[in-house]
A = this chain, B = another copy of it.
Amino acid sequence: MTESRFTRDTAVEAVGAGRYRGEVVEGWSVSPVGSVPNGGYLLAMAARAMRDPTPHPDPVTITAHFLAPPRPGAVDIDVEVVRSGRRHSTVRGELHQDGRPMVALLGAFGDLSAAEGPTRQDRRPVELPPVEECEAWADEAQRRAEAAGEAPPGFALRFDRRTPPGMMGWSQGRPVGRGRMGGWIRWPDGPMDGLGLLAVADAYPPAVFNSGEGELGWVPTLELTVQVRKRPARGWLASMFTTDSVTAGYLEEDGEVWDAEGDLVALSRQLALAARPAH
């Protein structure tokens, strides 16, 4: 089995006591104001470093505070195990570049394959139209152009995303009127694991763009927390992200991700800032 691009691009290596080095790769940048690496991508890379000194592979809950965007290139991730228990390890992380902190993290890691306890689902799964009725964001022409070096690497190509008809209408001035965003999602080139879900939790444009709240500028994430519940089954994931409360520019975005077996695999919540664009 070949490694997915996500796995390659979030690789880290130990370079000293409690320090890991990773490479922020250009193709994971979004471009709202210059080129900014996607937050979920940075979170996944840091989580890979943070779990390394523990016997616990799965981030059962991990929080990232985004302080400043690193440039593409080398970053260091400092890792400190705060508590090492039988069932969970609690770990602090800090991703920095040129000595400047960029992402501060705190997470608990466990082993979901060994989790035991009651299971009860009162939540209704995310409902989406069939994949074949949804819209792909990146078509084959784009993929060929990037592969041939004829186009810059694009964030849209990192995921295979299919959105329900109308979900992207906000980009042509037709928001759906509620803060909802999401669709089917998977890697284009390999299976999804628990770390991949951290990137899935930040893979869509802000849900608030669909609220009809009028023109908003850049919506930077202050903090993102993801709970991973299950390593996903093979196949498409169904995801939905919701913003219901915007308070003087502060907004939450709550996400749910379900797998092909109909199980909830992740819950996410972020705090972001919405601002009117400067003119």
Contact = CB atoms under 8 A, between A and B. Distances in A.
Given A67-B90, A90-B104, A249 B61 contact: no
Given A104-B106, A108-B223, 18 more contacts: A61-B222, A63-B63, A63-B223, A67-B82, A92-B104, A112-B248, A117-B249, A117-B273, A117-B274, A118-B213, A118-B214, A118-B246, A118-B248, A120-B211, A223-B225, A227-B250, A229-B245, A230-B248
A71 interface: no
A63 B117 contact: no
Interface string A89-121: 010101000000100111010001001111111
A95 to B, nearest CB: 11
A83 interface: yes
A216 interface: yes
B249 A230 contact: no
Report how many copies the assembly holds. Answer: 2
Contacts of A101: 82-83
- By secondary structure, the A interface counts as strand
A121 to B, nearest CB: 6
Contacts of A171: none
A239 to B, nearest CB: 15
